[in-house]
Amino acid sequence: MPELTLIYFNARGRAELARWIMAYGDIKYTDDRIERENWPARKPNIFTGKVPVLMVDGKPLPESIAIARYLARMADLVPQDSYEAARVDAIADRLNSAMTETHGILYKTEDEKEKTEKFDKHKEEVIKPFFSQLNKHLEGRQWFITNKTTWADLFIGMSMTWLRMKSPGILDNYPNITALVDKVLAIPKIKEWNDKQPKDLPF
């Protein structure tokens, strides 16, 4: 097992999926959390100058989705079948794109009226069709791809947890997504991880 250090801010954010995967897989690592006031001093020594970064035996691995894919293999969260593994990658890429756009609207739009208008448009044009397709796909399924948990399930669970915090009721019309999220949150290792996090820790 390589020596792992996950570098990110003292927040959930883009590092939380990696933390969930490592919690699920009982993977040992150093959780290097940077306080915001210390970031200017740390930034010049961070690969690419951005976080998260996963240090693997001293070698840097940037980008949250690349980190998640790497760790998912270690946690046995990647399907053995190549096609199914690619489908997990596909939903993760699509979800990451949608959530990145959502995050930008909610955190980078200062005017509240403009934020509401942008988010309403985003929900109608991006979230609604995506969630409708995802909800239909999950009909009669135990997990997203197979009868076994994958990192796509954890990513869906984590992302929807954040989205429900920001927009309560957003999953009301998607019972299959809601059921999957609740099932992910009930996974013992995930529940244990979430239960020990400070309630005021920024998402």
Where does the chain hold its CATH 3.40.30.10 domain(s)?
4-76
Run of H or E including 119: helix 112-122
Check the CA dihedral 91-96-97-102 and report its sign: positive
Residue 108: pLDDT over 90 = no
Angle at 91 between CA 89 and CA 97, to 5 degrees: 100
Mean pLDDT of 182-194: 98
Q: What share of the chain is helix, strand, coil (3-state, %, to 5)?
A: 60, 10, 30
Average pLDDT over the chain, rounded to an integer: 95
Domain 82-187 classification at class level: mainly alpha
Domain 4-76 grouped into CATH 3.40.30.10: yes
Distance from C-alpha of 61 to C-alpha of 74, rounded to nearest angstrom: 15
Residue 144: pLDDT over 90 = yes
